[in-house]
């Protein structure tokens, strides 16, 4: 029942995703969420470590785009100084934002990873598009209102999965 909500990979943070990691899986690009995946939802700018990660990916030929449900002002403020393309108001888990991101990257779903911190938006949408889904631990302990509801649902799903003997966070960290 929950197969469409299960990521292909669990990672602690974005920094575990390297060019080698992606190449081993035949992936050429990354569509990444912004809030609580790359930076805290209430932080405006990238950290130095994150800017270095983007540069490492670019130097390795890995294409990256941000797909966020947030507004253009928020996403543009973060992405523009880094030279990272973006899709704002992506309406994840619906397909439009994922499709637009892959078009901009010039990649097919089987060549693209979707990286995010939420099952109900990032993983479900990426799985529906047949992308390689990677769930990261949220970088912040707090969330905006809509995300708080999603986290409540996620906890119920993870609890049910654990009861059924399926893989959850605790099995990977």
Give the tokens for residue 26.
């035949």
pTM: 0.86
pLDDT tens figures, 105-164:
999 999 999 999 988 899 999 999 999 999 998 887 655 556 666 666 777 766 777 777
Euclidean distance between CA atoms 22 and 29, whole angstroms:
8
pLDDT tens figures, 46-76:
999 999 999 999 999 999 999 999 999 999 9
Residue 119 belongs to domain spanning: 3-171
- The residue with tokens 């990286």 is 115
How many domains does one find in the chain?
Answer: 1
CATH classification at residue 131:
3.40.50.1000
- The residue with tokens 């523009």 is 80
């Amino acid at each position: 029942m929950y197969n469409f909500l299960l990521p292909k990979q669990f990672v602690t943070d974005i920094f575990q995703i390297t060019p080698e990691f992606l190449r081993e899986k035949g992936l050429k690009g990354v569509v990444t969420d912004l809030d609580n995946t790359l930076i805290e939802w209430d932080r405006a700018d990238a950290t130095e470590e994150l800017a270095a990660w983007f540069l490492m990916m670019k130097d390795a030929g890995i294409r990256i785009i941000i797909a966020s449900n947030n507004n253009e002002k928020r996403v543009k403020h973060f992405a523009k100084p880094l030279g990272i393309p973006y899709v704002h108001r992506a309406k994840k888990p619906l397909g439009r934002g994922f499709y637009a991101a892959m078009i901009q990257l010039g990649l097919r779903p089987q060549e693209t990873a979707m990286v995010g911190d939420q099952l109900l938006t990032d993983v479900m949408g990426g799985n529906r598009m047949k992308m390689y889904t990677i769930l990261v631990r949220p970088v912040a302990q707090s969330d905006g209102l809509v995300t708080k509801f999603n986290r409540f649902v996620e906890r119920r799903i993870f609890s049910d999965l654990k009861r059924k003997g399926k893989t959850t966070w605790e099995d990977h960290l």
